[in-house]
Amino acid sequence: MTASQTPPSTDPTASVEAPADLQDERLIASQGLGGWAAATWDRIRSGDLGSLPVVIGLVIIWAVFYALNPAFISSRNLVNLTLQMVPIGVLAIGVVLVLLLGEIDLSIGSMSGLSGAVLAVLFVSHGVSAWLAVLAALATGAVAGLVYGLLFNRFGVPSFVITLAGLLILLGLQLRVLGTDGTVNIPFESSLVQFASQQFLPAWLAYLLAVAVPALYLLARVRTNQRRSAAGLSAPTFAAVAVRAVLLALGLALAVYVLGRDRGLSYMVLLFLVLVVVMDLVIRRTTWGRSVLAIGGNVEAARRAGINVKRVYLTVFTLCSTFAALGGILAASRLASANQSSGGADTNLNAIAAAVIGGTSLFGGRGSAYSALLGIFVIYSISNGLALLSVSADIRYVVTGAVLLLAVVVDSLSRRSRAAHGRA
């Protein structure tokens, strides 16, 4: 172990050499790379698993499918996988937000279906421009979420029930909008369909991003560390930060290389990744995000701290439905059609399962936007792998259900372990 104890000092103000946050003699301070590894291992053992179970799960799933059919990790199939997962993945981002509050939205499937229908009918049947049709579909989602938020704040009805009612109402609206035909096909050469299935980043741009993103990360961390040092707080060594940045760059470059052997990184996938990163920053780095986490942890404490709890509920429900609407737009664009079964079947449950499998707690206050990405990756790896093996839908449902069950059990167990080890 490289963990070292700072020397106990009788007068904390006298020891100028120790950073302000490492002066307590009981604190086991970890320095450098080894210390970081030790601290991470300690955190995992106490049940603060973060995204570890899902990463391990993903590795196992990929290994199994590769063993059964090597075509699974072919570039062609992986590009398909990234395209398949985006619409539901966008839904899952919204689910993460409501789950962080300890609430739920069961109507995201219907919402995505309705938004796809609005888009298709406006764009195809009424000849509205693509941008306006997209905006109208997004607005439909925002309005639905706003209504949920208002009902929730005004009457205190559990979100479970409000959104269950919303599921039926939105489904009804979807059928009404689609009219008697029931299916509206979006022309293949339209910008919407092109964006969702045909447009890929040129290789140079993809590689540039794979280098630029870790560089930005490194720059931000170094600047933060400089500020921490200036403020008399401990800061991780440059090596620890640099190693993480390099690992990130290598990972991204590998992904770009593998995808690049086929069609490459789709603009739609990039949009999804950007949304995940932005939402992660919003949750962790803004007052609003802090309010969301606080409400998920203890509503009463948040209220007494002066947080406008009702406004946060309103914005989260609105955002969740808007993300659902965006997911619906992408789904309709990718499949070049909106029909009566859009957003039906397992859409709802896949999106919620993705957020939970990715590591967002059902009990509120814990989770991150990245769980939407990881979770949807797991679900679509399973569904894609089983499809490659020509396994029928019945088995696919059972396997996905089993993985969800496993994820919830891990969530509950790690919650218990965290309580025992004194972590939230």
Name the residue nearer to other proteins (CB basis): 180 or 287.
Answer: 287
Measured distance CA(184)–CA(186) in Å, rounded: 6
Which residues bind to other proteins, rule: CB under 8 A?
12-13, 20-21, 24, 26-27, 224, 227-228, 231-233, 281, 285-287, 290, 293-294, 296-298, 300-302, 304-307, 365-366, 418-419, 421-424
Q: Measured from the CB atom, is 150 or 282 closer to other proteins?
A: 282
Instruction: Tell me how far apart the alpha carbons of residues 281 and 277 are, in angstroms, rounded to a whole number.
Output: 6
| φ, ψ for residue 29, nearest 5 deg | -85, 140
Closest distance to other proteins from the beta carbon of 419 (Å): 7
Pairing of strands 28-29, 4-5: antiparallel
Q: How far is the CB of 412 from other proteins (least distance, A)?
A: 16
Q: Which is nearer to other proteins, 296 or 343 (CB)?
A: 296
Q: From 371, 368, 400, select the one nearest 387 (Cα to Cα).
A: 400
What is the C-alpha to C-alpha distance for residues 243 and 35, in angstroms, rounded to an integer? 14
Which phi and psi angles does 4 have, rounded to 5°?
A: -125, 150
Q: Alpha-carbon distance 137 to 114, whole Å?
A: 8
Least distance to other proteins, CB of residue 362, Å? 14
Smallest gap, in angstroms, from Cβ of residue 424 to other proteins?
4
Tokens matching residue 63: 């290994």
| CB of residue 40 to other proteins, shortest distance in Å | 14
CB of 237 to other proteins, least distance (A): 17
- Residue 261 vs 311, nearer CB to other proteins: 311
Taking each helix axis as running N to C, give the angle between helix 108-120 and helix 130-155, from 0 to 180 degrees, rounded to the nearest 10. 150
Residue 419, CA atoms < 13 Å, CB-side half-sphere: 5
Alpha-carbon distance of 115 to 117, in angstroms, equals 5
The DSSP annotation for 202-258 comes to -HHHHHHHHHHHHHHHHHHHHHHHHHHHHTT-----HHHHHHHHHHHHHHHHHHHHH
The residue among 300 and 394 lying less far from other proteins, judged by its C-beta, is 300
Strand pairing partners for 183? 339
Backbone angle region of 392, left / alpha / beta, with phi > 0 → left and psi within -120 to 50 → alpha: beta
Question: Which three-class secondary structure state does DSSP give residue 25?
Answer: coil
Q: Cβ closer to other proteins: 27 or 168?
A: 27
The residue (of 91 and 235) whose beta carbon lies closer to other proteins is: 235
The two tokens of residue 407 are 């994820």
Give the side-chain half-sphere CA count within 13 A for 275. 26
Least distance from other proteins to the Cβ atom of residue 300, Å: 6
Q: How far apart are CA 339 and CA 179, in angstroms?
A: 10
Which C-beta is closer to other proteins: that of 227 or that of 261? 227
Number of residues in the chain: 424
Nearest distance from C-beta of residue 6 to other proteins, angstroms: 11
Minimum gap (Å) between residue 363 Cβ and other proteins: 10
Question: Nearest approach, Cβ of 20 to other proteins (angstroms)?
Answer: 4
Residue with smaller CB distance to other proteins, 20 or 161: 20
* Closer of 184 and 283 to other proteins (Cβ): 283
